[in-house]
Structure 1
Amino acid sequence: MEFSQSDNNNLPLTKFESMLKTNHVLFFDSEEFENIIHHYLNQGKIALAKKAIKLGLQQHPSSINLKLFKVEIFIFENNLDDANALLNKLYQLEPHNEEIFIQKANILSKQDKHEKAIDVLKHTLSLTADVSDIYSLIGMEYLFIDAFEDAKTNFMKCLEQDIDDYSALYNVIYCFDYLEQHNEAIEYLNIFLDKNPYCEIAWHQLGKQYITSKKYKKALAAFDFAIISDDTFVGAYLERGKVLEKQRNYTEAIENYTITLTLDDPTSFALLRIGHCYEKLKNLDLALQYYYKTVHEDPLLDKGWIAITKFYKKQKNFQKALYYINKAINIDSENVNYWKLYAQINHRLNFFEEAECGYKRALELGNFEIDTWIARGDLLLKLGELKAAIFNFEQATEFYPEHAEIEYRLSGLFFTILEIDKGIFHLKNGLKYNREYSFILDELFPKLLDNIQVQRLLNSKS
C-alpha cells in the first residue's frame, strides 16, 4: 500500500523517519517495513529504501518479502550476481513464490536473455492468481526482441483479465501500429468497445486509427463518443481539432482547441494550431497573437518560432522575419530548420555573406537537400569564392551523383578558372544527364557561350 498525506497510514513512515533523525531504534512489523520500502522505491529514494531494508532484516531476518526488496535493489544497482545468489537461496525456501521468478526474469531481461526471461515468466503463470501482470511482463519481453505479434497477443490477454488495464490497451495499439495493421486495430477496438462502451481511451484510439485510414467522418464520431464518455478528455478535443483542420473546417477546429485551454494548462500545440487556423481564415492579427502565445508558453518549440518567421516572410516583412529567426537561433543554435530559414531570409535581403553562412551551417547540421547545396554554391559564385563553390558542388555530387544542375555549375566554374579539361568533362556529364538544364550556363556563366568548345558541345546531338 502507498502512504498518503491525509490519513493515518503514513504514521509508520513518520515514525521511521523520526527514528532515523534520533538514532533511537523502534520496532516495526514486517508489513510496515514493506510499505515503507515500497514508498521510498516509488519516490526514487533508493538510499532510504536501503536503510529500511537493512533495519527491516535486522528485526525480521527470516522475511522473504524484505529479502526480495533487497534483490530489487541489487538489480537496480546492476549487481546481478548478488541478486541471483540471493534469489537461489530464496528459491530453496519458497520454490513456489511467484515474485522470485519475476525477479529472475527481470535479471535475464537485463542480461538481454529475453527468450529465457519469457520462459521463466510463462512458468510463473502457473504460480499466480494475478496473471494479468505476468502477461504484461511477457508482452514487454516480446517487444524487446521485436516480436510484435506475440507481444500483441499477450497484451490482449492482459485485457481479457482486466478490461480497465489501459496500459495494456495502449501497448496492443502500439503493436497494431508497428505492424501497420490498421484495419485489424479498428476491428479489435470495436469488439473491445462492445464490452466496454464508455472507455474514452478506446474511442480515442479508434478515432486515431480512422485518421490513419483517412476515414475522417468515422474519426470525428469516435472522438465524439470519447468526449461523451469523458467531457474533460483533452486528447479527444485535440484530435477532433486536427481532423476538422484536415477538412478545412477551421472555425470549429478553433473551438475544439480552445476547449482544451479551459480544461488544462495551455499547451503550445493547441496555441500553435489555433494560430494556423486563424491564418487560414485570414484573421492575421489573431493568428500572430496565438503564435506569440505559443513561443511564450514554450520558447523551445521550434514550430512556434518557425510559424512567426514564416508569417512575416509571407507578408514580405523580411526584417521582422530575420529578427525572430535570430531570436530562435539564440535559443537553439543547433536547429537546422532555423539556419535554413535564416539563409533564405538573408538571401531575400541581399545579405549574401550572411545567407551563405546560413546555408553552410544548415549543411553542417545535416540538411543535405539539393536546393541547399545549389543555393550555397550560387552564393559563393556571386561572392567570387570560386574554389569554395567548386568544393561545395563536389561535396554535393557525393549525395547527388549524375545530377545535371550540379554538373553544369561545375563546368562553368572550371572554365572560369581556366581548368578547361575539367570544364569539358562536367559539361559532357551535364548534357548526358539532362540537356534541358544547359540554360544554367547562360544564366550563371553567359560569357561561356562565346567559347567555341562550349558551343560545339552544346550544338552536338550526342
Structure 2
Amino acid sequence: MHLSQNEEHNFSLTKFESMLKTNDILFFDSNEFEVIIYHYLENGKFALAKKAVKLGLEQHPNNTILQLYKVEILIFEDKLKEADTILNNLHDLEPSNEEIYIQKANIFSKRDAHQQAIEMLECALEISADEVEVHALIAMEYMFLEDYENAKLNFMKCLELDNQDYAALYNIIYCFDFLEQQRQAIDYLNMFLDKNPYSEVAWHQVGKQYFDLKDYERALAAFDFAVISDDTFIGAYMEKGKVLEKMKRFTEAIENYHITLKLDDPTAFAYLRIGKCYEKLKQSDLALQYFSKAVNEDPLLDKAWLAITDFHLKKLDYQKSLYYIKKAIAIDEENVLYWKKYATINNRLNFYEEAEKGYKKSLELGNYELETWITRCDLLINLGEYETAINVLYQAMEFYPDTAEIEFRLAGLYFLNNQGERGYFHLKNALELDAEYSIVIEELFPLIFRRNSVKKMIDDYQNK
C-alpha cells in the first residue's frame, strides 16, 4: 500500500519524535530530514529543527540542503562567521546554487551591509528558478537603505511575474506613499487594472489613494468596483462607509458598516462608526447603543470610550462623562488621551485638584502640548502652589523656549513670591516677545497688574 505525500510526512515526523523520546537512533533518508526540518522551522519549533539538522548531518554529512538548513539556523543565532565559512565551502562545490547566494546576502544584511547583500541577490537572480522571491528580497534590502524608488521597481517586477502577489502590491503602494507620489500610485494601479480588471485589492488601493486626495466621488466608485470584484471583501465595505460619511450620506454608510458585521465577526471599529453616523443623524439613543457595543467588543479601543465620554459632554452631563472616562482609565491607565479628557472634565466641574492630577499624568505620559503645560500651571496658581507652578513652567521652557505665555506667568509668580528682580526680568522677556499677551498678567495676577511699575512697563512696550 502506497502512502500519500502528507501521510509520508506525518509518518516521518511521528517516527522522528518517537526516536527523541526513546533515545534510539533510527535512520532517515535525507529527504525525510528535509521535510522534518522544514516543518519545524515553519511552525517555529526552533529547538526541534536544530536537533533534526544535527542528526541529519551526522547521517548525511555531505548533503547540501541539510548544510544550508544549518546555515539558516546559525544566522538566526547570529553565528555569522561560522555560517559564512560553511557557505564558502559550499560555494566551491556548487557555485550555481542560488540558495548559497541568498544566505550570503542574509549574512550581509545582518551586518547592515545592504548594498553587498543586493549584489549577492543579483547573483542569485541570474540563476534563480524563483525570480519573484529574489526580487522581493532585493526590494527589502533597498527598503533597509531607504531607497524607495529601487525598492518599488523590484516589487513591481514581483507583480509582473505574479499578478496575485498582493504582498508586493501593498509594498509598491507603501513606497509610493512614502515618496508622496499619490498621483503616480493611481496611474500605476490603473495600468495594473487594465490587465487585471477584477483585482479587488487593486481597486481597494485606488480608492484609498483617492480618499487621501479627498476625491470622494472617485474613491466611492473604486470601492464599488472592489465590491463588484469580490462581494465578501470586508475592507471595501468599510472604506465605502468612511467615504459615505465624508459625503454626509450617513444612512448609506451605516448600511455598509452593517454588511461588514454580517460577513465576519463584529468589530469595535464598525460599531463605533455606526454610532458616529447615528450621532450625526441626531439619533442619540442609537448612537449611544453602538458606542456601548464598541467598548464591549474591544475595551481597549480608546476612540470608543472617548466617543461615549464626548457624547455626554455635549449634553453637558459632566458627571456621566466623568464616570465613563474613569472606567476607561481603570482599563488602560497609561492612555494619555484618557487623562487629558479626565483633566478637562474635572476642570469644568471645578474639581481643580483632580484636573491638575490629570494634566500632570498627561505630561508624564508624553503629552507635551503647550496648552497642557499652561493649563496645569494655571490650575496650580488657583491652588496656591506657586513653587510647583514655577517648576512646571521651567520644564515647559525646555520644549517651548522664548514663549510669551510662559514668560508672563513666570513674571507674575515671581512677583507673588516677592522676588521682584526675577519678576521684572521675565516681564521684560515676555513684553519683548509679544506685548499683546500681557492680558495673562491682568487675568491671572490682577493685583500685580495694578502695580504702577508693572502697568507703566507694559504701557511703554505697547506704545512702542
Band the TM-score falls in, shorter-chain normalisation: over 0.9
Aligned to 2:410: 410
Aligned to 2:87: 87
Letter in 2 for 1:253: A
User: Please, which runs of 5 or more residues in structure 1 have no aligned partner?
Assistant: none
Residue 223 of structure 2: aligned partner: 223
Match of 1:187 in 2: 187
Q: CA deviation at 1:404?
A: 2.8
The 3 A distance-change label for structure 1 pair 31 and 420 is same
Distance in 2 between residues matched to 1:457 and 1:370, nearest whole Å? 26
TM-superposed deviation, 1:21: 3.0
Percent of aligned pairs sharing the same letter: 62
What secondary structure is seen at the aligned counterpart in 2 of 1:366? coil
CA distance in 2, matches of 1:440, 1:256: 50
Q: Which amino acid aligns with 1:232?
A: T
1:106-150 deviations in Å (ceiling 9; x for gaps):
111111111011001111111122211111111111001101111
**Structure 1 residue 454: deviation in Å?**
2.0
102-111 vs 263-272, greater mean Cα deviation: 263-272
| Deviation, structure 1 residue 7 | 5.9
Q: d(CA) in 2 for partners of 1:79 and 1:338?
A: 46
Query: What is residue 326 of structure 1 aligned with on the other side?
Result: 326
Q: Which amino acid aligns with 1:391?
A: N
1:137 corresponds to 2:148: no
Aligned counterpart, 2:55: 55
Q: In the aligned structure 2, how far is the partner of 1:90 from the partner of 1:442?
A: 82
Using the TM superposition, name which of 386-395 and 311-320 deviates more.
Answer: 386-395
Q: 1:23 to 1:431 in 2, by over 3 A?
A: closer
Q: TM-score, structure 2 length as denominator?
A: 0.94
- Superposed, 1:163-312 pairs within 5 Å as 163-312=163-312
The CA deviation at 1:304 is: 1.8
Find the aligned partners of 2:157 and 2:440 in 1 and give their Cα distance.
64
Partner in structure 2 of residue 148 of structure 1 = 148
Aligned to 1:407, the other structure's residue is in SS state: helix
Structure 1 stretch displaced more, 396-405 or 309-318: 396-405
1:344-395: CA deviation from partner (whole Å, max 9, x where unpaired): 1111111111111111111222212222122111111111112222222233
Partner Cα separation in structure 1 for residue 171 and residue 449 of structure 2: 65
Q: Secondary structure at the match of 1:432?
A: helix
Q: What is the alpha-carbon distance in structure 1 between the residues aligned to residue 441 and residue 117 of structure 2?
A: 66
Q: Is the 8 A contact 2:9 2:35 kept in 1?
A: no
Q: 1:17 to 1:386 in 2, by over 3 A?
A: same
Give the Cα separation in 2 of the matches to 1:137 and 1:161.
15
Judged with a 3 Å threshold, the aligned counterparts in structure 2 of structure 1 residues 315 and 8 are, in CA distance, closer, same or farther, namely farther
Distance 1:54 1:126 in 2: 32
Structure 2 residue 426 is matched with structure 1 residue 426 = yes
What SS does structure 2 have at the residue aligned with 1:126? helix
Work out the CA distance in 1 between the residues paired with 2:6 and 2:27. Answer: 23
Give the counterpart letter for 1:306 in structure 2: L
Matched residue type, 1:262: K
SS in 1 for 2:126: coil
C-alpha separation in 2, matches of 1:72 and 1:401: 53
Supply the distance in 1 between the matched residues of 2:389 and 2:347 (Cα, whole angstroms).
16
CA distance in 1, matches of 2:218, 2:336: 38
Cα pair distance change 1:458/1:79, threshold 3 Å:
closer
Unaligned runs of 5+ in 2: none
**Offset of 1:154 from its aligned partner?**
0.8
1:344 — aligned with what?
A: 344
Q: Distance in 1 between matches of 2:410 and 2:33?
A: 76
| Distance in 2 separating the partners of 1:51 and 1:402 | 64
Cα offset, 1:397, TM superposition: 2.9
Q: Which moved more, 1:357-366 or 1:419-428?
A: 419-428
Report the Cα offset of residue 24 of structure 1: 4.2
Aligned to 1:394: 394
Tell me whether 1:314 sits opposite 2:325 in the alignment: no
